[in-house]
Chain A
Amino acid sequence: MRRLRYFGARVLLALPVVFGIIVLNFLLIHLAPGDAASVLAGESGAATPEYMESLRSKFGLDQPFSTQFTHYVEQIGSFNLGYSFRNDAPVSELIIERLVPTALLMLSSFSTALVIGTLLGLIAATGRNTWRDAVISIMTLIAYATPVFWLGLMMVVVFAIRLEWLPTSGFETVGSDDEGWAHMLDIARHLVMPAVTLALFYLALYARVMRASVLDQTGLDYVTTARAKGQTERGIMFGHVLRNALLPVLTMAGVQAGNLIGGSVVVETVFGWPGIGTLAFNALQSRDLNLLLGIFFISACLVVVINLIVELISVFLDPRIEV
């Protein structure tokens, strides 16, 4: 019950963030050169002065700033993110239908990065100052410095063009009528390269945090106690240290959630993965501001949700947090 109340409080604390996102979005709209009416008129292809006037009054642009803001908040509150004239569809609809591929990509990259990253960090920490540590450190440093989109392009050159092991782009083979497992396998083959590309940076990050965190933990009293009781080194590592050392990694994962979304925009663009990122890229190409703002709003909200989930897992890992 206490846990539930604690979590409720966290949800309440997230609300100002969502409100902040709405304020930021509103300010960004007004930062654009010309007002929304001229943008909309340009997008719909007709721009007589009368039409502009009618648009202005229709969208309330002749109202004072504060009225416009309350109107905007109400609009977002009813999940109306505006209309994309380029795609001739409501923005929210466009984003929702792209949500699944993006979620698939982000989840697979995230879990790959988390599992392999913590494992590498553990290996580096247990073999501190040995060749294993050195190799992992160098790999991390290089992964840190590699531009994500370039890595993707190089993977395409090597694995798709030269070796022809994996498809270059897309979500599934166009025109294939595979069903069930064959279809899943086809999607998985398309997913490998984008997921690995996106995961690499975070893998390096988690490995680095995990290494430092394991080293921090091994100096603590409870490790000495466990050793004195006759616990094996392996037992200490997996029974005691691992769980405690994971906390900073999780916190970092929560902090980095926003960057993961930014990275997926670039990766999806490289691999033509039909998610929110490609949608954002297309919106950019056609200067579809409404759609871009909607994507920003949804992705920011997504980050807030991910942070809440991370918090929930942290409480599960370390019950002391809720006090």
Chain B
Amino acid sequence: MKVFASFFKKKFFFKKKNQKTFIRCFARNRAAVLGASILAVVLLTVILGPLLYPGSAFKLVGKPLLPPGGAFLLGTDTLGRDVAAEIVHGTRTSMLIGVSATALAVLIGALVGGFAGYYRGWTELVLMRITEFFQTIPAFVLAILVVAILQPSVGSEILAIGLVSWPGIARLVRSEFVSLGGREFVLACTGLGASDTRVIFRHLLPNCASSIIAVGSLLVASSILIESGLAFLGLGDPNVMSWGLLISAGRAVLRSAWWICTFPGIAILLTVLAINLAGDGLNEALNPRLRTA
């Protein structure tokens, strides 16, 4: 267990000097800075949301189906709830599910890819076959099935999305491990009598942390998209406000009240776009050798 703890404690990203070059590199990419700024607003919304719109997300505040621009900036929905308040409360759900599902995917992916890349041979063959299998099957349909079987809730959504998103991470970690495997520092550790788990968690994984972070950040975006799709199909937690839930509820009155569906969709689009831009920037700044023309 000690090995695991030290993995998280150790500052493995970069030393102070590298940090400066990293920030400079990231700041040079204007699209990435734009993405990071939008993301900052989204995160502020998550933190300040309860202050902006106190009380439940499902609170009734006015007449139903008021168009936007009146007393309520983005209008009201079929039951007379403030659409703006619902979007603000939904931000929290989307970010929570996006980040947790990604964390789960990274955990599964790092374990599978790590063991495959470290032990090679049969272990690798079997584990990578399983990874390929999960990459082939229709991920979204599997996610639908898992949530439907476990009953819709925030937990089952996280589980389902994590379960279908890990193969990319596993492949990445495996290839990094394979290329690191023969290096001197690994041989030195093994020679000094370090156990396999120690080599894997203390030395190899920290060395591919930067690529995991870069790819993982993009996974948050795709997780948010999958979550909204699940919620749209009626597989969101009915007791927790989310953007997909809002769109799926507004769909019935699309003809008369376009705003209920439109604004949450814009929120999803902007958030996902911001994460993608910032993630690409991270990728470029952290892995300069992967940079393409």
A contacts, CB < 8 Å to B: 16-17, 20-21, 24, 28, 31-33, 141-142, 144-150, 153-154, 156-157, 161, 212, 215, 255, 258-259, 261-263, 265-266, 269-270, 280-281, 284-285, 287, 289, 292-293, 295-296, 299-300, 303-304, 307
Q: In the complex, A56 Cα to B88 Cα: how many Å? A: 48
Q: How far is the CA of A148 from the CA of B139 in the complex (A)?
A: 15
Whether A161 and B229, one on each chain, are in contact in the complex, defined by CB atoms closer than 8 angstroms, is: no
Ordered by A's residue number, 23 sampled pairs between the chains whose C-beta atoms are within 8 Å are A16-B129, A20-B130, A24-B137, A141-B277, A145-B268, A147-B225, A149-B232, A149-B247, A150-B261, A154-B265, A157-B258, A157-B261, A161-B258, A259-B139, A259-B140, A284-B148, A284-B233, A284-B235, A289-B149, A292-B148, A293-B145, A299-B141, A303-B137
Number of contacting residues on B, CB 8 A? 46
Q: Assess whether B138 is in contact with A28, with CB atoms less than 8 Å apart.
A: no
Asked whether B229 lies within 8 Å of A144 as measured between CB atoms, the reply is: no
Q: Is B292 an interface residue (CB 8 A)?
A: yes
Report which residue of B129, B146, B232 has the largest number of chain A beta carbons within 10 angstroms of its beta carbon.
B232
**B182-205 with Cβ < 8 A to chain A:** none
Which residues from chain B sit less than 8 Å from chain A, CB to CB? 129-130, 133, 135-146, 148-151, 221, 225, 228-229, 232-235, 244, 247, 251, 254-255, 258, 261-262, 264-265, 268-270, 272-273, 276-277, 292-293
Query: Are the C-beta atoms of B148 and A153 separated by less than 8 Å?
Result: no
Q: Are A141 and B273 in contact (CB under 8 A)?
A: yes
Residues on A with beta carbons closer than 8 Å to the beta carbon of B235: 284
Minimal Cβ-Cβ distance residue in A for B268: A147
Could you tell me if B265 and A287 are in contact, using CB atoms closer than 8 angstroms? Answer: no
A269–B233 touching, CB < 8 Å: yes
- A261 and B251 CA atoms in complex are apart in Å by 22
CB pair B234–A284 under 8 Å, yes or no, is yes
> Would you call B258 and A258 a contact (CB within 8 A)?
no
Cβ of A280: which chain B residues have Cβ within 8 Å of it?
141, 144
Residues of B near A215 (CB, < 8 A) are 292-293
Contact of B251 with A265 in the complex, beta carbons under 8 Å? no
Q: Enumerate chain B residues within 8 angstroms of A156, measured Cβ to Cβ.
A: 254
Quick one: closest B residue to A129, CB to CB?
A: B293
Complex Cα gap A22–B232 (Å): 28
3 nearest A-B pairs in the assembled complex, by CB-CB distance: A262-B140, A150-B265, A145-B273
> By the criterion CB–CB under 8 Å, are A258 and B129 in contact?
no
Chain B residues near A263 (CB, 8 Å)? 140
- Give the nearest-CB partner of B256 in chain A: A161
- With a cutoff of 8 Å between Cβ atoms, the chain A residues found around residue B146 in the complex are 28, 31
- Contacts A161-B255, A258-B137, A262-B139; A141 near B261 (Cβ below 8 A): no
- Chain B residues, Cβ within 8 Å of A293: 145
Which of B135, B145, B146, B255 is the most central at the interface, judged by chain A CB atoms within 10 Å of its CB?
B145
**Given the complex, which residues of B lie within 8 Å of A269, measured CB to CB?**
232-233
Residue among B136, B255, B264, B269 with most chain A CB within 10 A: B136
Knowing that A154-B265, A292-B148 touch, tell me 17 more A-B residue pairs with CB under 8 angstroms.
Answer: A21-B137, A31-B149, A33-B149, A147-B247, A150-B264, A150-B269, A153-B247, A153-B265, A156-B254, A259-B139, A262-B140, A263-B140, A266-B229, A284-B235, A287-B148, A300-B137, A304-B136
* Cβ-defined contact, B251 with A145, below 8 A: no
Closest to B226 in A: A262
Q: From the candidates A32, A144, A148, A295, name the one contacting B149 in the complex (CB within 8 A).
A: A32
- Asked whether, in the complex, the Cβ of A284 is within 8 Å of the Cβ of B144, the reply is yes
CB neighbours (8 Å) of B129 from chain A are: 16
Cβ-defined contact, A265 with B141, below 8 A: yes
CB–CB B247/A148 < 8 A? no
Closest A-chain residue to B270, C-beta based? A145
Q: Contact between A145 and B221 (Cβ–Cβ < 8 Å)?
A: yes
B160 CB, nearest partner CB in chain A, Å: 11
Given contacts A141-B276, A303-B137, contact A285 B261 (CB under 8 A): no
A296 pairs with B140, CB closer than 8 A: no
